[in-house]
Chains A and B, each alone.
Chain A
């Protein structure tokens, strides 16, 4: 059986075809085969959330998905969602609230936060804490992150009224 397989993954809207080792997880694929180093490896055990990316619109742990499993699917990374402007509001709020320090967890944290912002616009502080509870941050006390996400959610609610 072949341990290397051709896969075509649409990364941030652009199809990328590579021969990938079957054992390579999606984050190593993104970082090494595609050169997008914004998604980080924090544990490779599916616990820390630093590798959170979006596959077909849903957030996943990039270290718990093989690159070959993403064959034929759409993957969005921090770089893509930054360029498309989708994360602009959250990024601005994170910046203004100092909701990051070393920035290593931040791409994954933004992915998780955006998943909440776009699906549950009524989220309370408690709900925000719950939704990002799968993403470690060792620098901040999470408080500023919650502040930033809450501000974006409240702005959106205000905008709808």
Chain B
């Protein structure tokens, strides 16, 4: 374990104190995006670039009886056509299982399906053409004959094994897990109050504004592949391209420049993207695939289709004794590579009941195959489900006891001085701050006043509701997440810092930038750690040919893990710079510090040597330094969280809304989120990250659902019918922070990217049910559409 160096980062007594840590500094890299001068994959221009489009199954489950590409290949501009077998010669299939998810199973998945399509939208052929238009024109000339197979769309139907989608696997169960602390039934017998509810969750998807994009450029001369990829995990993809395409890893370079939103959507292996890379190898030329919006809805991973029954036992005084959970989730026909589709359900089991002190917990969870698009990890994996189950049933218990929901939570949240704490599901919390965040939230929203306003309006037949939702959140995971299961996914990240001769600092990090501000906070940390101003820092990310090896962006780990690597590299670079300064100045290193781009006398702050001068001497006139002295002005450091499997964070949300009980429409009035993400490096960035997460959570609660019919056809797979939240319906979102730094790292940051999404749906649900309570109505199936609310009110 690293000894945690106390902030400030600089020597006590210097005026720079914490440097840029905690400051709302604008992101330097945002300027080019504001002028439309970013470099997204589709913005790149290559000579001889070919475009690939895919012929996709119109059926949810069907055998390909005949596939004839001879007419398609003769169309204007068409370069080549490929079926699954042709691509399989260049790209081996994969099976997405992990050793630590015991019993998880999935069939081999090919880049292009062979003989059988298992969901509507699965690619069965690729057409390569000079332009995207020509490729699409040729799609109409693909001749395919299908034999429709039985379709399994409902989770319960899948679980019944009435029809087994993959006969070789024996049944439709991808993964199951059971957990039992042993005395749950006793707890329920002893309880004064028992509540039970079944909650439903709609399938939804990420809808990144930039659709999935990849440009693969194979160079036959040196058997190398350069992939420009909208991905969150370039090193992971480098490994995967290498292994499945049979190219030495050292010959594969993955570059991700600007990425137009990810939220977990772009951290998975997509068959059409693998096929694109394989086709570049086959054709020995650059090939590009940019998903159009319609195929995005059919093939970007979906998430969150769950139905879960949860029971809670508590005493008269409100003390929760036990949770009992039975969760069922469907993932489509394949577990998604390489993270598997078992993680979401696993998280629901890990996290349900997480904020509270009960000692008894039992959970049962089944993950089943269906003939819909695949699901996998999307922002806040499992958290929104677990939070809605927990907070929905907690509100129900509070209501049954006639207790204020805030008071009920106060009596059950784990005390702020109880850490380290092991939750009955086995997860360990280093240090959380539930009570601090609750107090801050109630103050921020003026809870009592709001309750009074609500009561006054009810007398006027205005139905407003207040909903609370406490959460815990997995951030900054250790190798316990994937590595232990055999996945080649790095849990460690690295950063290289280099003092340039000009006094500039170049920071090269393995965590990627997807817009969350990685490069901005790296600049803040690097500048603070070295002692330079932010304008002296340049940050480079997203290139396996350049950066240290690392995991990239997922699980709210960028600041916690990548940031710590930057901090440690920066501190070492500072020390190395002072070594050089001490030699040049013939002073004791201990007398010196770096402040504002200059070496100064630590006590007097008197300027001693500008870094630009130090750089000049170190790089161009080392002959003037003592013969045995070698400056080391490039430093690389890596960081792996080890002590805890995950750096848990906590937070609490509140939603205030009004239900139009005649129309079932919900008007969101305000939302509050107080999160403890450890050390906050840039409050402005964290605030809007949280807000963006909240809006995605609100989308789940009110708007978003991938609706399939009984034949497995996606009914609303376009931008007009799949309702992404828009500015007009969103409330102002007030964000507050509590900072409980992790002691695992020097920086103390935990993570913030998913907190908003985790808590918002539960808060909105509880607020709607609070508003409907006087009418005896209640909703439990997301999204809470006007029709579902009207049905609950008996009006539709």
Given A95, A130, A143, which contacts B30 in the complex, CB threshold below 8 Å?
A95
Given B209, B516, B689, which contacts A48 in the complex, CB threshold below 8 Å?
B209
Given contacts A78-B36, A82-B35, contact A47 B720 (CB under 8 A): yes
Query: Is residue A77 within 8 Å, beta carbon to beta carbon, of the partner chain?
Result: yes
Whether the pair B727, A133 counts as a contact (CB closer than 8 A) is yes
Whether the pair A98, B685 counts as a contact (CB closer than 8 A) is yes
Whether the pair B35, A78 counts as a contact (CB closer than 8 A) is yes
Given contacts A43-B719, A45-B719, A143-B688, contact A91 B35 (CB under 8 A): yes
Interface residues of B in 716-762 (CB under 8 A from A): 718-720, 724, 726-728, 730, 732-733, 756
Of the A-B pairs whose beta carbons lie under 8 Å apart in the complex, a sample of 30, sorted by A's number, is A37-B40, A39-B36, A40-B209, A43-B293, A45-B718, A91-B35, A94-B30, A95-B34, A100-B30, A100-B515, A101-B515, A102-B259, A102-B261, A102-B515, A103-B38, A106-B34, A110-B34, A132-B727, A133-B728, A136-B207, A138-B261, A138-B263, A138-B696, A139-B261, A139-B516, A141-B690, A142-B691, A143-B730, A144-B691, A146-B732
Query: Is residue A26 within 8 Å, beta carbon to beta carbon, of the partner chain?
Result: no
- Per-position 1/0 for B68-103, Cβ under 8 A of A: 000000000000000000000000000000000000
Given A45, A82, A94, which contacts B293 in the complex, CB threshold below 8 Å?
A45
Whether the pair B730, A138 counts as a contact (CB closer than 8 A) is no
A-chain residues with CB within 8 Å of residue B615 when the two chains form the complex: none
Cβ distance B670 to chain A, nearest Cβ, rounded Å: 11
Query: Is residue B165 within 8 Å, beta carbon to beta carbon, of the partner chain?
Result: no
Whether the pair B261, A38 counts as a contact (CB closer than 8 A) is no
Query: Is residue A115 within 8 Å, beta carbon to beta carbon, of the partner chain?
Result: no
- Per-position 1/0 for B259-296, Cβ under 8 A of A: 11111000000000000000000000000000011000
Whether the pair B133, A21 counts as a contact (CB closer than 8 A) is yes
Whether the pair B209, A102 counts as a contact (CB closer than 8 A) is yes
Nearest A-chain residue to B673, judged by Cβ: A141
B-chain residues with CB within 8 Å of residue A78 when the two chains form the complex: 35-36
Whether the pair B34, A104 counts as a contact (CB closer than 8 A) is no
A-chain residues with CB within 8 Å of residue B207 when the two chains form the complex: 136, 138
CA distance A101 to B35 in the complex (A): 14
Whether the pair B688, A103 counts as a contact (CB closer than 8 A) is no
Cβ distance A21 to chain B, nearest Cβ, rounded Å: 7
Given A35, A128, A140, which contacts B688 in the complex, CB threshold below 8 Å?
A140
B residues with a Cβ closer than 8 A to A are: 24, 26-27, 30-38, 40, 42-43, 45, 133, 206-211, 258-263, 292-293, 514-517, 684-685, 687-696, 718-720, 724, 726-728, 730, 732-733, 756
B-chain residues with CB within 8 Å of residue A67 when the two chains form the complex: none
A-chain residues with CB within 8 Å of residue B261 when the two chains form the complex: 101-102, 104, 138-139
Nearest B-chain residue to A102, judged by Cβ: B515
Whether the pair A141, B688 counts as a contact (CB closer than 8 A) is yes
CA distance A50 to B263 in the complex (A): 18
Whether the pair B688, A42 counts as a contact (CB closer than 8 A) is no
List the 8 closest pairs (A to B, CB-CB), nearest first: A38-B36, A141-B691, A103-B33, A102-B515, A104-B260, A78-B36, A101-B515, A133-B728
Nearest A-chain residue to B207, judged by Cβ: A138
Q: In the complex, given contacts A102-B33, A103-B38, A132-B727, what are 9 additional A-B residue pairs having Cβ atoms less than 8 angstroms apart?
A: A40-B260, A48-B209, A48-B719, A98-B684, A98-B688, A107-B36, A141-B756, A142-B726, A143-B730
B-chain residues with CB within 8 Å of residue A106 when the two chains form the complex: 33-34, 36
Residue of B210, B211, B733 with most chain A CB atoms under a 10 A cut-off: B210
Given contacts A78-B36, A140-B688, contact A103 B515 (CB under 8 A): yes
CA distance A139 to B684 in the complex (A): 14
Cβ distance A89 to chain B, nearest Cβ, rounded Å: 12
Q: Count A/B pairs, Cβ under 8 Å.
A: 183
CA distance A117 to B779 in the complex (A): 41
B-chain residues with CB within 8 Å of residue A154 when the two chains form the complex: none
Whether the pair B258, A102 counts as a contact (CB closer than 8 A) is yes
- Per-position 1/0 for A28-57, Cβ under 8 A of B: 000100011111111111011010000000
Whether the pair B209, A79 counts as a contact (CB closer than 8 A) is no
Interface residues of A in 101-133 (CB under 8 A from B): 101-107, 110, 125, 128-130, 132-133
A-chain residues with CB within 8 Å of residue B42 when the two chains form the complex: 31, 37, 41
CA distance A147 to B261 in the complex (A): 21
Cβ distance B32 to chain A, nearest Cβ, rounded Å: 8
A-chain residues with CB within 8 Å of residue B34 when the two chains form the complex: 82, 91, 94-95, 100, 103, 106, 110
Query: Is residue A58 within 8 Å, beta carbon to beta carbon, of the partner chain?
Result: no
B-chain residues with CB within 8 Å of residue A139 when the two chains form the complex: 209, 261, 515-516, 692
Cβ distance B549 to chain A, nearest Cβ, rounded Å: 24
Nearest B-chain residue to A78, judged by Cβ: B36
CA distance A129 to B732 in the complex (A): 10
CA distance A155 to B62 in the complex (A): 61
Given contacts A101-B517, A143-B732, contact A138 B36 (CB under 8 A): no
A-chain residues with CB within 8 Å of residue B209 when the two chains form the complex: 40, 42, 48, 50, 102, 104-105, 136-139
Query: Is residue A153 within 8 Å, beta carbon to beta carbon, of the partner chain?
Result: no
Whether the pair B30, A102 counts as a contact (CB closer than 8 A) is no
Whether the pair B30, A138 counts as a contact (CB closer than 8 A) is no
B-chain residues with CB within 8 Å of residue A105 when the two chains form the complex: 209
Whether the pair B727, A129 counts as a contact (CB closer than 8 A) is yes
Query: Is residue A6 within 8 Å, beta carbon to beta carbon, of the partner chain?
Result: no
CA distance A28 to B261 in the complex (A): 21
B-chain residues with CB within 8 Å of residue A156 when the two chains form the complex: none
Whether the pair B210, A102 counts as a contact (CB closer than 8 A) is yes
Whether the pair A96, B26 counts as a contact (CB closer than 8 A) is yes
- Per-position 1/0 for A1-38, Cβ under 8 A of B: 00000000000000000000101000000010001111
Given contacts A129-B728, A137-B209, A138-B209, contact A102 B691 (CB under 8 A): no
A-chain residues with CB within 8 Å of residue B695 when the two chains form the complex: 140-142
CA distance A47 to B259 in the complex (A): 21
Cβ distance A10 to chain B, nearest Cβ, rounded Å: 18
Query: Is residue A73 within 8 Å, beta carbon to beta carbon, of the partner chain?
Result: no
CA distance A72 to B157 in the complex (A): 60
Cβ distance B607 to chain A, nearest Cβ, rounded Å: 31
Query: Is residue A145 within 8 Å, beta carbon to beta carbon, of the partner chain?
Result: yes
CA distance A98 to B293 in the complex (A): 27
Interface residues of A in 78-101 (CB under 8 A from B): 78-79, 82, 91, 94-101
A-chain residues with CB within 8 Å of residue B696 when the two chains form the complex: 138
Whether the pair A142, B730 counts as a contact (CB closer than 8 A) is yes
A-chain residues with CB within 8 Å of residue B517 when the two chains form the complex: 98, 101
Nearest A-chain residue to B33, judged by Cβ: A103
Given A35, A44, A102, A145, which contacts B727 in the complex, CB threshold below 8 Å?
A145
CA distance A121 to B732 in the complex (A): 21
Cβ distance A30 to chain B, nearest Cβ, rounded Å: 10
CA distance A60 to B720 in the complex (A): 17
Whether the pair B36, A142 counts as a contact (CB closer than 8 A) is no
Whether the pair A98, B27 counts as a contact (CB closer than 8 A) is yes
